[in-house]
Structures are given as C-alpha cells and as structure tokens.
Structure 1
Amino acid sequence: MDVHHIPPAAIARKTRSPLSEPALLSDALMLAGAFAFEMGEDGHLDPANRDALAHNLVEMPDMFSTAASDWEARLGPDDVRARRAALSRLTFVGARYKLDYVVRDGMGEHRHFREIAEAMACADGRATLIRGVLLDRTGEASRNAAIAWRARHDPLTRLPNRSCLDAAAVQLSALSIRTGVPAYLLRVRIGNWRRYVDTYGEEIGDQLLGEVGHRLRAASLAPDMAFRLGGADFAIGSLTGDLEDLATSLEILLGGQPVHTAMGALPLDIDIASVRLGALRDALDATRAVLEDDLDYGSRTPQSQPIDIDQLLRDDRITLAFQPIVHAKTGALHHYECLLRLRLPDGRIESAYKVILAAEQSGQVTQLDRRALDLALPFLKDDGDVRLALNVSAGTIADEAASAAYIASLTALGSDAARITIEMTETLALDDPALASSFAAAVRALGCAFAVDDFGSGHTSFRNLLAVEADSIKIDGSLVAGVATDENKQAFIRMMVDLAATFSVQTVAEMVEDHADAIVLARIGVDYLQGYYYGRPVPAPSWPRLSPDAKKTVET
C-alpha cells in the first residue's frame, strides 16, 4: 500500500511545537530554567522572555536592564574578564563558547549561570549577531558542591577524609623543604573507643568521635591539618620543630578533658604513632604507612622493603616502553618518548616509578639513566627514521663522572645523535640553571635536541628556560587534561605557547586523552601532542610509516 508523504512544513503549520514557534521554544526552555537570548555588537542581552528572566533574578520587570554594563555589574571582576574574552573569540560564524559564572540577583544573593552561545553573523573578525541560552544552575551547583564536600570530608567530624591525605602530605613536604622546619604525619587512635561502643552503643561512639573532630578543628592552625581516617583513627599533618612536644599537646588536647555524655564523663585514651615527611619523594610512602597503619606506636621510623637496584639490572628486569608524540595539526608521528618499565617475575610489565624513587634515594639513578640509553640504542641503529626522547635525571647531570660517561655514549652515535631528544625535569632547570645549561650545551653540540619536561608543574621562569637553551618544553599533563572545557587552562597554555614562540621554543602537550582536547590544543598553537588518545606506551616503536613526500611535508 502506498503511504502518502506529508512534507514537514505542512505538519509544522498544523501543529504547535517548540521547534516551529519561537515563543513556545522559549517557554519550553524556561521550564528547564533556561532563557534564550540574542545579542548584537553592543553587548545588550535581548532575552526571548524578558519578564521571566527578571522574575528569576528577583527584579521588577520595569526596572530590569540587560544592557552590557548593567549585566556586567552583576558579575564579579574575574567573571567579567572571562566573559569578555569568550566574546572576543567569536571571530567566525559557528564559533561557540560555554561559560560558567555567578550573577548577583535583586536580593543580593548569588546565582550560578551557564551561558552557551554561538556566533550567527560576523564582520571584520568579530561577531555581529550572537544567539544563546542562559541556564540557571544554582541548584545543580549547590548539589555538586555538597557532593564534592562529602567526597572529601567525613560528615560526622567534618574533617577532611583519607582521600585528602596524599596531597596534604606533599604540600607539607614542599613547605618543610622551603622553610627548613621538619614536617610530620601522626596517626592518632582513640584506644578505648571500641570498648565504649560495645558498652554504650553506636550513638555514644559517634558523640565521642564528633567531639574529637571538634577539638582538632578548633586547634588546627594552617599549615597544620587534621583528617579522619576511619573508625577511631585520625591523622595530623604538622610543620613543627619538636615532635615530642606536638605529641604531648595532642594527648592533652584530646585526652586531657573527658567527653560529657548521657552515660557520664568518658575519658579518652590517646595512642600516637608518627612518621617524618622528608623529601618530596618520601611523602607518598609516608602516607601509605599511615593509611595502612604500618607504624609501630611509639616508633618514629616505619620500615619499608628495600629495592635492590643492582639485582634488577643484573636480572634484566628494567626495560623500555615507547609512547608516540605527534604533530598537533597533522597527527603524524614525530618521535617517541622512552619510558622506564619494570618486568615482574611472572613476566608482567608495570611502571618503574617505585624503582626510580628507590634509585634516587640510594644514589643509583645514574645507572637507570645509562640503562635507558643502552636499551634505546639498538632501536636507533635498526631504524634510520626513528627519533627517540630520553629522560635524564638530576643525579646524572650533577654527577661529573656519570655526566661525562653519558655524553661519551651520545658522542659515539655520531650523526645518529641528531635523532635523540634529551628531556630534563623542570625542577632541575629551577634548582640549578647553570648546571642544567652546561649539560644542555654539551648534548646540543652533538646534535641532540633538548627539552624541559613537566613545564608548568613548578615555578620555572622563562629566564631559566633561556638559560638552558631548550628546544622544546613539555606542558605538564595537569594543565592539559580537560582543557577543551576549561577556559582558565586554555588561557594559561595560550600564554605559554606565545612566550615559547617568542623564544623560538616548541611546545609538547602531555596527557592528551580525547579528541576535544586535541582539537583545542592544536587551535591554541601547541606544536606536538602526547597521550593515550594517540597511543599508550608499547614495548617497541610502532606507527604507520609516511611516504617520502608526506614526510617532507610534515617536517617542514
């Protein structure tokens, strides 16, 4: 049977739907807490339902103004700058932005809005007609804030929970290094809490824990911090010159006064164990010991299982993995970064992070650097096109003999050295730019390229970057992840790219994990991209080969 076709336009004339009637579309958006608007060159918001937006902001419609200056007067200075910057980037038809900001309503309360807009017409590189939607996200923002707070805090004591401990320990370690004042993590246990719970019930137990939390919150002054680990266990991070005095103060604070309950005044028995936060690399091990209760109460130094670097090297259990680094605009392979990996006794491969930390502590990190170079050399000899990046530690650069031996190995490569990039961490460029500059000059004289790794994770200035004469900087992954939807990250990376270009330095973005981030980074002007979106580290270089003509195009 033939079915008569009815054109969509004919249906639209006979029905009322949000898509066929702008007024109805506006009403539908309003039900979802959204308000459609248009905006011209003068920045005046023209809402589809002005009265509804005025009502939302607790304003009298006849006194409600959405002129550019009046709308910006409702925003904070940072949000005004962010909104103006977003508007200035609408330079072509179809360009869009998504912006979250806080608006002050007629009662002086703050409301969270999301503005999503698109350029519908442009002239002379700027938008002349913009259409978009204002979405009231106040309820969602409050719920998200509550969820985020609950994820990082214990609701009973209102203290940060164990998920916050790692970051806090690293911060205290860094502060300890800068100030020279020792930092400690203490695990505090209410020794008789379980007995009280068994005798009087969970309600009394919760009251005791709540009072402990109250006392710790009242006594903790920055930078010291208190955490609840779970049960009757708490942790204290403290910058102090006298551990014994701190422990005594905690015993007095928590156990000096009983807690008054319906069952009478209940005294608290306080047990304390501690571990010192030394160098930054020790912070995570220290928190693991505290979290896993791997401490002897009364003992100050937890014991850890040593890693025998020499034995791992003799057993050939240190190996390499190769991760591709590609051109941002074409996606074509440029080179691979060589990453150290540990081969387990059962043949599985895992990160060598703990091995590297152990080698740094024992002064054997120079052996790992040399092994990485030795493992990479056969790949250079077997493939005349492959380019590799190798990480060199501060230990190797600072050790005169190890540095000379490393440079001698690079010298023996002859012209093949031009296919190697040496990567140095940003920390070394900051701590000793003269030493870093000397090593950089030596390897660049052999034809190697030189890169500063993890740029943006510390405090390196571009003056130090100039001192080491880096050919490229690798933008730290913490600044890259989620950049497509984070305008603050976009602005920061754009600044880094512009400054790097001024000094003729190329840029590499790490931790690129999705298409949207890759597109934004390419538009910003980042030269190369690295991350799981393009490839995970693999045991051997593997990437589609380019034709000679295509290779010339990419290299130019």
Structure 2
Amino acid sequence: MTTSWRELTAQGRSDARSGEGDSFDTGAPEPEATPGSDAEDTIAIEDVLQTMGETAYRWDVVQDRISWAGNAAAVLDIPDIKAMNTGRAFGLHVDADHAGPRFDALSGGSKRAPQSEVRYRTQYRFLPEGRRGGKARWLEEIGRCRLGADGKPALVEGTIRVVDDWNEKEQRLQFLGSHDELTGQLNRTGLTERLAEMLSGGAAKQRDGAFLLVAVNDLSLINETYGFDIGDQIIAMVGRRLARALRGNDCVGRFASNKFGVLLHNCPGEGVSVIARRLMSLVRDRPFDTSGGAIPATVSVGAVKLPEHASNAQLATGRALQALEGARTNPADRFMLYQRSERRESERRRAANMADEIVRALNDRRMVLAIQPIVTSKSREIVAYECLLRMQMLDGSIQPAGEFMPVAEKFGLSKLVDARVLELVGELLRSRQGVKFCVNVSPTVSGDRDWLAGLQSLANVDRRMPERLIVEISETAAISKLEEMTDFIADVRRLGSQVALDGFGTGYSSFRHLQSLGVDLVKIDSTFIENVTARVQDGYFVRTLVDLAANLGIATVGEGVGDEATAEALERTGIAFMQGYFFGGPEIVMNSGTGAGRIDIDIDIDHA
C-alpha cells in the first residue's frame, strides 16, 4: 500500500495515541492549528526525502504489511511499489546473501528483551527486478524496530537511501586491501591469508599441496632498457599467463615487485615440478606483445611442498624464498624444490643467533672501534688511522667485522650498524683534534639519507670535522651500484670529507669507473700486497694499479704490509701510503656509551 508522508505520519500518531505501535513522532505535543494554517504542512517532508534521494516505510511485521512513502518507487527503481506491500515480497528483492544479515540487524539478534526497541543501520544489495534480474543497487537502511511480547519484531520503521557510489568506493578499498592494483590478482596480504587458510584447521589435513614463488628474471634490466611502464606491462601479462595455466582451485597473486605466489592444491608426486616447468615454459616460449614491441622474458621458480615442509604461512614463504634463491643461481634450470637440509638449517639458526647478538650489542653499546695507523711510504709518519669495527661479546671476546657484517647485511641491520659507527667516529673526531680517521661503510649506505644527515650534523657542530674523515667504500659495492654510489660520493665530498675505494683490484674497476666515481684514494687489496715480493706478477699488477691511479691524480694506499721488504717494494712502485701490522695492529678505543635509543627488532629465521 502506498501512502503520502502526511498520511503515514498521521497514521503513526493515531497508533501512538491508541497504544497500537510506534510512530516516527518524537512524542512532543502537536502544535495547535491556527486559523488559515495547517501545522502538518509546515515542512514538506516528502520533498526533503526526494531531494536527499531517500524514502521511508513502516512495516507491520505481525500483519506483514508495508506502508511506503510516495517516492518509494522512484528511489528503489521499482515500476509498481504495490508489488512490495509485504515484508516477504520486499525480502525477495534483497540479495540472498544479504537477506539474513539485514533481518539480524533490524531485529537485534536473538538475545533482545521483549517489548524493547532496536536501533539499526545496515547496507545490502537490492535487486529491483528480483533475484533473476540483472539490475542491482546498494541500499543503506536506518531505522528502529519495536519487539513484541515474544521478543520478535512487531513494528519496523525506517528510511532507505541508495548508496551505489559510496559502496563502489568502499568495495574498491576492500578489494585493494587484498588485491594488487596493477594485476588485479591477490596481493601479498590476500595470498598469505589464502595460504594460512589452507594450512590451518581442517584444511591442514589436505595433503600434497605446494606454494611456488615465481620471479621475473632481470626485471630491473627491462625497466632500465624499455622504461618502467613496459616493465609494468610485462608484470601484468606474466600474471595473466600464470593464472590461465592454473586449475580451478589453485590461485596466483603478486607477492612482491617481480614475484608471484602460486598456491597449488592436490599436487602429489612430481606434480609440483611438472606444473612449475609448465609455467616457466609458458613465459619463456612466447615474447610479450607490449607497447614497446615484442619483449622476451623468463622466470625462476622456487617451491615448497605443503604441509610436508611448512606447517604455517611464514615457514612456507620463507622456504619458498630459499628455494627461489637457489633457482636463480642456477641459470641452466631456474627451478628448485625446497629440501630440508640439517646443515643449511644449522647455518640459518647460527645466522639468526648472530643477528640477535648484533641487535643486543647495538643496544648495549658493545660495538667498538679499533684504530690502525696509516703511514706515508717515504717518512713512515702516521697520517691517519683506519677505524675497524669490532663487536664485544658478553664473554669479553672481540669479534671482527668480517664475522658479523655479512649477517647484518643479510638481515637488513647494516644501516643501524653504519649509524652507530658514525656516532663512534664522531666521538673520536671530537676527542682527538687534528687527527684524520678512515671509516668503512656498508653497500647500503649509498641510499641512506639519514647517514648523510648524520655527517651533516658533524659539520654543523664543527665544519672542520668532516674534513678529517675519509669514507671507505668497497670496490665491488661501488661497481655494482655505480650510479647510486657516484651520487653518494659527490654528496660526501660536498660535505668536506674524502672518499677511498677499498679493496682496489678485486672488483675489476676500469679507468672509466675510477674517473666517474670521483674518489680521492684507492686502497690496494692486501691479497696483492702480501705477495708483492714473492710473486713477480703481483708486483707488476700493483705497479699497474698505482700508475692507473696516478694518471687520474688519485693517491694509493697499500694494505696488509707485514714486513720491511714489502714496505720497500711498495715504496719503489710509487705507492703513497701504507698500512699493516708492520706499522701497528688495530687497538680498541673505548667509547663513552652515549648514543641513540634502544633498537627493537624481531629476527625472522625463516627468511634468513
């Protein structure tokens, strides 16, 4: 039955006076009508509802009779609102998945007191043409429900409005919460949730599952050659090919920038290997038709069997990553299935324990410096000291950097260590006026703006402090990140410090590399210095490196000098400076124990 809002309100007031149900009335006394006026016409409620795109209704649940406001048909996009004059009829136009939750919302659930009132707000999918039609709208309903003596709904009053645009945005936000925007497939969060579901509860009883990590090889090279937009196209197309190759109950998602995760169900025996190689073939055998032309691509695959080798999602992803690392180091195959190895597990546990110890040492101020002199070749006078990092263990023993820095880099702790080393060097620069110090930094420092800010803070205290600092970077790190390191070196020199290339001769630097890096010194690696008197070829090699650096106006330092004969041989090559135990070994410098706050990091052994 369709009524005007005036009639609907009047009926509600009548019901309220007679005690037969509630109304939309607030209970305030009605204004008295004055001659020539109509109190009920003061506000045209239906016009307001129409303007807001809302309608209203009253549902007598006991009689199953709905009274609608006059604009209901227009708002709900229904040709004849009389067709929905009962709650049952209206319910048949609510999406089947939403009908139950809607009724639960308006009735307040099963534990409400009889003759109480429920205020509710709910959203649901409404089907103007019924459940077999194609049209759909999203509605938001706000109202109140009066429960009868039996605790069941007796009278419902509410307003309804269309929220298609709002819901579309909400749905998109929900979608992006679990899906990747570029590929439209599951993102890492969504994929991990599916993986966890598979390995939890009753699903864990399913045997012969597998988790694969599929990585696009050389994506950085594709980005550099063709541009990031082409790289994105390759990623999206690889995802689609992988998805088309999977069975109905399997799924694929984007795990990281160049990695996809594939979850396989019911894949016994050699099935994992067969599927992995099929996926590799699908990507490899046909170039991708991009806007930049046809571009070939390949993938590497690491896999772990579930639940045989991983009982939870964290273990599964960690061990799939281990397998993927192995696959990428084997260009002849590019596939590896995780196999448990006691030796490897023991190494990972040791690495994780060492990472924990590094964090504790940082917090306990047990990272210290040992300084070793650097002398001139001719006068043998000390011109600087190299600061060598050491970790003081709880038992009092000292660990050299070579024992723990590879672990720090693997677990992402090197930036924290670099920051602490800069603090310690700053203390030395303040306490030992006029002395120069060399300090080694890790490869990750080139992208660490905080480290440069720390160096700037030294200059802010005393602009001469950075002038007494020589920053050492390894040759291999410089060549592997040439452009980034070149910018870093320029920034360091701009602040007044010098830069030395450490381990020169081991990373195959060319004349062009030395020229573009812009370093001030090169330190020739000790592996060539130690045998300079015993092996003629080492002597020739050192002289060549010295001449190469001299042609560019770069000073040279010979590392690892152990005796007078080596020192004299190096002096004959024209090398400018020398360093080694012959001139003095590293001596521990105790620090003040001041510095940054506590570091809290959880070490994840499964991703080691």
TM-score of the superposed pair, with normalisation by structure 2? 0.42
Task: Provide the TM-score with structure 1 as the length reference.
Answer: 0.46
